Amino acid sequence: MKSKEEKVKIISEEFIDDGEDAEEERQKKPLKIPRQKRKKQLPTASREEMVLENSPVDDQQEPVQKGPDTRLLGMTSRRGPRSLPPIPSASRTGFAEFSMRERMREKLQAARSKAESALLQEIPTPRPRRLRSPTEKESETEFGTELDREVQRTQQDHDSQGHSRVKFHDSVRKIKSKPPVPPGFPSAEEAYNFFTFNFDPEPEESEEKPKAKNRHGANREEKEGEEEEPPVQEGDEEEWLDGKDVEDLLLGLDHTAEDFVAVRPADYQSVHVRLQKEKELLFVPSRRTVPTYKKLPENVQPRYLEDEGLYIGARPEVPRTNQNIMENRLLTQEPGRRWFGDDGRILALPNPIKPVPSRPPMLTQEQDIKAELETLYKKAVKYIHRSQHLIGSGDAPGNFQLDIDISGLIFTHHPCFSREHVLAAKLAQLYDQYLARRQRNKAKFLTDKLHALRSAVQMGLNPAKTPKTLETTPKTINEYKSEIRQTRKLRDAEQEKDRTLLKTIIKVWKEMKSLREFQRFTNTPLKLVLRKEKVDQKADEEAYEAEIQAEINELLEEHTEEYEQRMEVYRVTLQQWKAWKKAQRAKKKKKKQEAEEHPADEEREEPGPGEEPEKPAPPEPVDRAVIEQQVRERAAQSRRRPGEPTLVPELSLAGSVTPNDQCPRVEVMRREDIKRRSLFLKVTFNNKEVSRTESRPLGADFRVHFGQIFNLQIFNWPESLTLQVYETVGHSGTTLLAEVFLPIPETTVVSGRAPIEEVEFSSNQHVTLDHEGVGSGVPFSFEADGGNQLILMTSGKVSNSVAWAIGENGIPLIPPLSQQNIGFRSALKRADAISSIGTSGLTDMKKLAKWAAESKLDPNDPSNGPLMQLISVATSGESYIPDFFRLEQLQQEFNFVSDEELNRSKRFRLLLLRSQEVPEFRHYKQIPLYDREIMEKVFQDYEKRLRDRNVIETKDHIDTHRATVAKYLQQVRESVINRFLIAKHHFLLSDLVVEEEVPNISILGLSLFKLAEQKRPLRPRRKGRKKVTAQNLSDGDIKLLVNIIRAYDIPVRKPTASKFHQTSRSSRTFTEKHAASPTTHSPAHSADYPLGQVLVRPFVEVSFQRTICHTTTAEGPNPSWNEELELPFRAPNGDYSTGSLQSVKDDVFINIFDEVLYDVLEDDRERGSGIHTRIERHWLGCVKIPFSTIYFQARFDSQEDEKLLQATEKFRAECALKFPNRQCLTTVVDVSGKTVFVTRYLKPLNPPQELLDAYPNNPQATAELVARYVSLIPFLPDTVSFAGVCDLWSTSDQFLDLLAGDEEEHAVLLCNYFLSMGKKAWLVTGNAIPEGPTAYVLTREQSHYLIWNPCSGHFYGQFDTFCPLKSVSCLIGPDNIWFNIQQYDSPLRINFDVTKPKLWKSFFSRSLPYPGLSSVQPEELIYQRTDKVAAAELQDRIEKILKEKIMDWRPRHLTRWNRYCTSMLRHFLPLLERNQEDVEDDHRAELLKQLGDYRFSGFPLHMPYSEVKPLIEAVYSTGVHNIDAPNVEFALAVYVHPYPRNVLSVWIYVASLIRNR
Amino acid sequence: MAAAAPSVFLLMVNGQVESAQFPEYDDLYCKYCFVYGQDWAPTAGLEEGISQITSKSQDARRALVWNFPIDVTFKSTNPYGCEIPHGLTPALSFEGPQIVLSVYGPDVFGNDVVRGYGAVHVPLSPGRHKKTIPMFVPESTSKLQKFTSWFMGRRPEYTDPKVVAQGEGREVTRVRSQGFVTLLFNVVTKDMRKLGYDTGPPDTQGVSGPSPPQGLPR
């Protein structure tokens, strides 16, 4: 606070003396300003208060004090008024004051400069705001620029510093006399500045300050602080400062000003100096590696634990430099070296980072919030009492039912009982007891048991009979004997009881009789009859005697035994006694002697007389007579005497009750009282009343019949079931007589099986009645003197039955067992098996047996009989444990329906078949939900197929051999497909994941170049389109595009020299041959063509799936269409999966027609007015392209050597790398689905001898014939037969057996024939025009190579441009494979010399020699002649079928057959077969000659025979039937030429004829 | 007749591919398609879709939000179906349609590469379902492959995204998890209960009150 005081001093310096002088003014003017200011904010502040404070100094000083604080922040806003020029103020203060002000200004300037220099020095020191009054602190941070706030603060200061004001005067004086500040210490002013000056480094301030100085004059400090003060105040202030005061002030300032003026340059320390200094202060650890010796104690070698074999975890990875820094630091800092381990490295824990990253469970924020805040809807649950057990919610609610049958109520005592009733009740009770006893007949049972035991003992005593029990006999016999004793006692007791009971009954009955006599009326119908049953006296006596004798014997034995025991004891005791006696005697003697010697001791020595043991009495010997007498007595007492008749009491209600009028009044009253009484029962369940019976009157016999059944639908386990007996007397309300607690039935007790039970009840009510009724709870007596009193309470029995109900389906409606409260049963456990182990325990035989053993059930007790038998069967017999293991022992339980029923379900069957991928159902969509929606015919095809599997049908196939083959093919197909289906479920990575292969360096380099490649090259190259897998295709989405570009060498019509110049027909024979033969035709224009037609007007018609598209008609034999035809594609069953698409058997037919226009005008006169032409089209030829383009390469087992396979893989990979477009064939799949090396198929095989004999001297012709033979074997593409599965190769014999195969089979067979004929032949794989990838045969003639098309039988020279084989990728010989590595693959441009390794890469080479693979082909082919008769028959049938078909195709026209022409054609066809060379000229001439009057248009079709269907298809595609001229006639002839092995060549000549008048 | 005894049930799925969490990737788009068994057929709506490219949000969630709507209706006779994706071999059966998502985005070199595959069954129970699917991509077979595929921008991809909807053949692949996609389904069904498929929430009818005592004589 020193600084504060100083500050105060300085201020007071300025104003101290104006107190008196300016008193007046002070009161007027100076107060004005503060007042004005205050008015704004403190209107409440009274002037009086200020006067009281009475210090203008204060008023003035306050702003000063807060000045430095406020000025800082108020700077910007205050700058305005401060920078005002001094003129306005001058004008106001007047010129007279100017000189003084000038002086003041100088001083101020000096002071200011000093302050500034001080400022320069002190800049780094933070401004000590804290020195301000604490009350201001709160507002410190938000120094407003507003004036009013500062004023407020002023006020605060004022208040808070009031106490310091007192000091002002003193302190001011002190300052006046204050000596100059000693050097080295800051002056007061400096100090003040130091603490209060706002060292604002802003440059403007210094500029502004001089201006301010002018105005502020002497009190510059204050002014600096109160720059916000308007100039008005300045004037005032100046007024206060005058004369001497000012002088004093200036003086005080002067000497300080000198110190301030020094101006110094800013201190600068050179970098080196600073670094030097820093070096002293700072430590920079070195980054160099610390030598190990530094880190270890002296003379200690580093020790590496790891080398010693100890495990050290991986240290966390820290950069070496960081480690070094740390080590250096540690070494400098703490030389203790405790941070370093034995090996000289910093101690470190093993790396805590897990090597495997693990991701915490993903919990997005939203989910978190959701999960916590989500409200769940729960249905309201009914409140259920806690103590009750809620039945599991899984069960259907309210499904449990308890049936309570209350049949009636019987009172065993009732207040209204008369005395007779009491007796009657007693009698009835006794009688009941008697009946119960008789039923159990315990005495008899015990007697039997006794007999059994006795005989057992007899047996035991006779060892001869039971030798094996010899060892155990004594023990067993003893046990038996003790048991006999026990049983006998029991039996006796029972017999006695029986007897007593009988006696009691008789006694009660007698009492009753006497009572009836006494009271002269009868109240109860009870009547006891004693029936005597006579017995056979003699037998009875004997039995009785025998029994007694037996008993006597036993007792005797027993007693003897006992006697012996006693004798033993006696002997022992006697011995003891004797010994004692002796000792005693000796003692006595001794005593006597001693007594003589020491008489004093005598008394002491005398033992007490009581100690003397008595002499034991010998036990009495057993006296048989005594025993006999005892036995007889007892028998007489408890047993029926021999010969005495058995008494059987019979209680009946046969007696008559005395009617009312004969009774005394009291009795009548009693009876009337009874009539007034009625009873009902309430049924309470778990302490809640659930129902009550009807109120029924009490009968005279004190029975109430209800006969009501209550069905309690419950869903809680019953805890208590009570019947409350209520009695109503007259109209006086009901009283609760008693409560009857019914037992809750066991779960086995269900309605219908529950017996009626009687439950007793009793009441504690006290009733005294004024009539004959004995009352209840009150004593009464039967005797006249009132002795022998009885007190009877109301009691009775309710007969009822409680059982679980049975549901509709026969299931008991019982809550689950687990719900039961176990507690209440514990007491019963011992007695009752079921309550002990539960009903479920009954099925567990072991448990039951255990229980039986524990509770010591008497196995002979008849009431336990069935149980014991069950246990013995269950535990002894091992038959219950099956000696086999059942795999799915629960299967039976899960079969919810029987198998037959399951199979009967059509839907299930459909689902099953589909999931088994049975072809018919593989793509079945939307299996209907209900059986009824599934048509029976869905299965028909499938069932038919199953049925026909082994039946060869000949309907579709005209000859039987074909049918067999078709069947076989079908079977092969099925097996292959099944195999394929299995294989399809094997996945390779490449099937699932597309991954670029690892490129080698060259490719990598190329692709690196690619990166730099232009994105859009000028000459874009076509990139293969990615296959699009589409799921949602439907009909019409797929289109087949056929681009028809041009045709070469179309046959032209030949004008005939005859008069029928209009006749036009194709001049060539058919199929592709025209393309093969050299061009011989030149368009021969004829001027006399009608309508100016050219020689041929061809157009192309493409038909696919019976949809037809055609191009425009072009002209000339070498037309160019360049058209794209679009055909819609429909997949079978609307299924567009690849597998399905590949099984599309449809072919694309490309037919070429010649369009011919005919003038139909009959009359030349009309030519001027109209043109009538008819367009006819004539079939020229056809190309058939099967719609099987892509095929799978499936993986199959192999029988080849693994090495070979690897080699093939390698070979193929190498080939594919170089020429990816050339297919390299090394292994193929045989019919059984095994991979086979391809060369195994090539082997010389003999062609039919018949063919070889045909042209014995012409090898060329023979070769052609052989090729023709091969081509006549029908073509069947694998992709069709095996539905997109794979390409299968059959061996030649299989091929001939099947009589169907694709290019490979044909080529293999042909090649094998050529090989056997001694030719050099190879299989050529490559691409051909219609077939796509295919196989041809290459043969080497003397100087040139020939390429054979095995399917057509044609051959081409290597340089034939019309050769359909367009590229060659592989040559396959019997012992090697050569891959074409020449630049080109067109046969025209390649060299077929396989010996040149630069041109052909061979599979087997020096590095991998040919291992000598055995052929898969047979040794020899065996041919049998074809039956010519069968062929002729087939021929007729085909002709018939085709004729019918043509008629069918012309439904609206009449189809006439020209027989003559047909027969002529039929003759002509064999000719064609014989010489396929140019027979056309003869043929035409012949035709013309024969059919002079007709315009003839027809063509022979030639094809190998497989089935009728392709023939029909072929005839259809010619479109002959489309001719609709009115007078058209048709001719159709068929010729079947048989070759060996059922190879048939079929010729069909179909023609249309139009008569030319 | 049709109203009384429907032969198909309908499943209408609305919703959206809401957002994704791919901590390391940005600028992703996603494709979705439905895969369903033979007994299912779409009746309305789009089965396939491709979304816009989205960038990460700037906030802390770094979410990639597509909000790409899904709206498709299926009819079916059988929630159990046998699926044969086209071009693929028959897959194991599954019930009901699945939505298959595949997410793509540019890699360092700007090539579009796959960032994740995932699939989830369309819920068959009516109501609103929010599903978060973990996404994964197949791994390269070797380190070298990994490098080259990274370098060439040709990461391994599934031959068909629908592979992820089937169980067969997956044993030959190895995958890596990449992120998560959140989907929202609003499912409405029709006639399902009528046809005996109870997919609704568990019956909350609970236990009914006790039936009145039947003590009256019959």
The shortest CB-CB distance from A994 to any of B78, B130, B159 is to B159
Per DSSP, A716 falls in state B
Confidence grade of residue A103 (pLDDT, cut at 50, 70, 90) = low
Across B19-25, average pLDDT: 91
Q: What is d(CA A326, CA A330) in angstroms, rounded to the nearest whole number?
A: 6
Instruction: Name chain A contacts of B157, Cβ cutoff 8 Å.
Output: 993-995
SS3 content of chain A, % helix, strand, coil (to 5): 45, 15, 40
pLDDT digits (tens, 9 = 90+) for A894-907: 777 777 887 788 88
Token output for A362: 């993903």
Instruction: Name chain A contacts of B193, Cβ cutoff 8 Å.
Output: none
What's the pLDDT at B186? 93
pLDDT digits (tens, 9 = 90+) for A1186-1200: 665 433 334 445 556
Burial group, residue A67, by CB count within 10 angstroms (0-12, 13-18, 19+): buried
Q: Which residues contact A33 (CB under 8 A, 6 or more apart)?
A: A59, A229, A232, A233, A236
pLDDT digits (tens, 9 = 90+) for A272-281: 888 888 888 8
Q: Which residue has the higher pLDDT, A1190 or A1159?
A: A1159
Q: Do B8 and A929 touch (CB under 8 A)?
A: yes
The shortest CB-CB distance from B86 to any of A922, A925, A1030 is to A1030
- The secondary element (H helix, E strand) that includes residue A1306 is helix A1303-1316
Across A719-726, average pLDDT: 83
Q: Do B7 and A714 touch (CB under 8 A)?
A: no
Q: What is d(CA A1050, CA A1095) in angstroms, rounded to the nearest whole number?
A: 10
Looking at mean pLDDT, say which of A306-320, A1480-1494, B21-35 comes out highest.
Answer: B21-35
pLDDT digits (tens, 9 = 90+) for B45-92: 988 899 999 999 988 888 999 999 999 999 888 776 544 433 333 444
The shortest CB-CB distance from B39 to any of A927, A998, A1138 is to A927
Q: Do A393 and B207 touch (CB under 8 A)?
A: yes
What's the pLDDT at A817? 53
Q: What are phi and psi of B158, to 5 degrees?
A: -75, 145
Q: What is d(CA A757, CA A721) in angstroms, rounded to the nearest whole number?
A: 14
Q: Do A364 and B132 touch (CB under 8 A)?
A: yes
Percent of chain A with pLDDT over 70: 60
Q: Do A984 and B207 touch (CB under 8 A)?
A: no
Dihedral (CA of B153, B156, B160, B162) sign? negative
Range A716-742 burial, b when 16+ CB lie within 10 A, else e: bbbbebbbbbbbbbeeeeeeebbebeb
Q: How many cross-chain Cβ pairs, A to B, lie less than 8 Å apart?
A: 175
- To probe the interface with B, which of A993, A1000, A1007 has the most B CB atoms within 10 Å? A993
Does the pLDDT of residue A1246 top 80, yes or no?
yes
Instruction: Name chain B contacts of A713, Cβ cutoff 8 Å.
Output: 210-211, 214
This model of the complex carries an ipTM of: 0.76
Q: Do A925 and B39 touch (CB under 8 A)?
A: yes
Across A1431-1456, average pLDDT: 84
What's the pLDDT at B15? 93
Q: What is d(CA A780, CA A787) in angstroms, rounded to the nearest whole number?
A: 9
Q: Which residue has the higher pLDDT, A974 or A1146?
A: A974
Does the pLDDT of residue A538 top 50, yes or no?
yes
Q: What is d(CA A679, CA A409) in angstroms, rounded to the nearest whole number?
A: 9
Chain A residue nearest residue B205, CA to CA:
A379
Q: Which residues contact A66 (CB under 8 A, 6 or more apart)?
A: A132, A136, A150, A153, A154, A157, A225
Instruction: Name chain B contacts of A364, Cβ cutoff 8 Å.
Output: 21, 132, 180, 182
Per DSSP, B56 falls in state B
Token output for A1026: 């990615």
Q: Do B172 and A989 touch (CB under 8 A)?
A: yes
The shortest CB-CB distance from A1029 to any of B82, B86, B215 is to B86
Token output for A1077: 């033969």
Q: What is d(CA A1060, CA A1554) in angstroms, rounded to the nearest whole number?
A: 12
Across A1016-1038, average pLDDT: 58
Burial group, residue A855, by CB count within 10 angstroms (0-12, 13-18, 19+): middle
Residues 986-1025 of A with CB under 8 A from B: 987-989, 991-996, 998-999, 1004, 1007
Query: CB distance from A1113 to chain B under 8 Å?
Result: no
Query: CB distance from A1170 to chain B under 8 Å?
Result: no
Token output for A1467: 């003759």
What's the pLDDT at B4? 60
**What's the one-letter identity of residue A1033?**
L
Across A596-613, average pLDDT: 50
Across A248-254, average pLDDT: 51
Instruction: Name chain A contacts of B173, Cβ cutoff 8 Å.
Output: 989, 992-993
Q: Which residues contact A8 (CB under 8 A, 6 or more apart)?
A: A61, A164, A167, A168, A171
- To probe the interface with A, which of B207, B211, B218 has the most A CB atoms within 10 Å? B207
Q: What is d(CA B105, CA B30) in angstroms, rounded to the nearest whole number?
A: 9
pLDDT digits (tens, 9 = 90+) for A915-937: 777 777 777 777 787 778 787 78
What's the pLDDT at A853? 64
pLDDT digits (tens, 9 = 90+) for B164-211: 888 878 888 889 998 999 999 999 988 888 888 777 665 444 333 344
Does the pLDDT of residue A1029 top 80, yes or no?
no
Chain A residue nearest residue B39, CA to CA:
A926
Instruction: Name chain B contacts of A926, Cβ cutoff 8 Å.
Output: 8, 38-41, 75-78
Chain B residue nearest residue A1139, CA to CA:
B87
Across A1239-1247, average pLDDT: 85
- What mean pLDDT is reported for chain A? 69
What's the pLDDT at B132? 94
Instruction: Name chain A contacts of B93, Cβ cutoff 8 Å.
Output: 915
Chain A residue nearest residue B38, CA to CA:
A925
B201 with B15: CB under 8 angstroms? no
Q: Which residues contact A1374 (CB under 8 A, 6 or more apart)?
A: A1239, A1242, A1243, A1244, A1315, A1415
Chain A residue nearest residue B144, CA to CA:
A998
C-alpha torsion B148→B149→B154→B160, nearest 10: 140
Q: What is d(CA A1412, CA A602) in angstroms, rounded to the nearest whole number?
A: 139
Q: What is d(CA B67, CA B70) in angstroms, rounded to the nearest whole number?
A: 9
Nearest-CA neighbor of B29 among B138, B142, B116?
Answer: B116
Q: Do B7 and A933 touch (CB under 8 A)?
A: yes
Q: Which residues contact A201 (CB under 8 A, 6 or more apart)?
A: A123
A496 with A488: CB under 8 angstroms? no
Looking at mean pLDDT, say which of A406-415, A848-857, A876-885, A958-967 comes out highest.
Answer: A406-415
Query: CB distance from A927 to chain B under 8 Å?
Result: yes
In the numeric block, the tokens 């300025």 are attached to A14
- The distance of A1230 to chain B (nearest Cα, Å) reads 23
B171 with A988: CB under 8 angstroms? no
Q: CA A949, A952, A954 angle in degrees (round to 5)? A: 140
Q: Is A1194 helix (H, G, I), strand (E, B) or coil?
A: coil
What's the pLDDT at B32? 93
Does the pLDDT of residue A46 top 80, yes or no?
no
Does the pLDDT of residue A158 top 80, yes or no?
no
